[in-house]
Amino acid sequence: MGLIGGGLNKKIESVLTEYKFIHIFLLMFIVILIKMVLVKYCYNQVVPKLMKDDNVYKLTYTDSLLLVILVSSLI
């Protein structure tokens, strides 16, 4: 039973030393960029069809970034 905790601690330490801060930051940045593009594309495709109007406000990348940050902080 005592070996389980020691093995787990060594595994966590090895994972933390393998991934540097810059790798984690870049991964998070890429994930946010992908979410931003998906939100922009989906909104701009779906909302005009729902509203049945072509003059609906189109999201920009800045708008979609703010929306992704807002929803991410609420979850």
Q: What is the pLDDT of residues 37-67, one digit of tens each?
A: 999 999 999 999 999 888 899 999 999 999 9
Per-residue pLDDT, 38: 96
Higher-pLDDT residue of 25 and 4 is 25
Residues 8-43: tens digit of each pLDDT:
555 556 655 666 778 888 999 999 999 999 999 999
pTM, whole model, 2 decimals?
0.68
Residue 43 and residue 59 in contact, taking contact as beta carbons nearer than 8 Å: yes
Distance separating alpha carbons of residues 53 and 59, to the nearest angstrom: 15
Residue 2 and residue 38 in contact, taking contact as beta carbons nearer than 8 Å: no
Residue 43 and residue 66 in contact, taking contact as beta carbons nearer than 8 Å: no
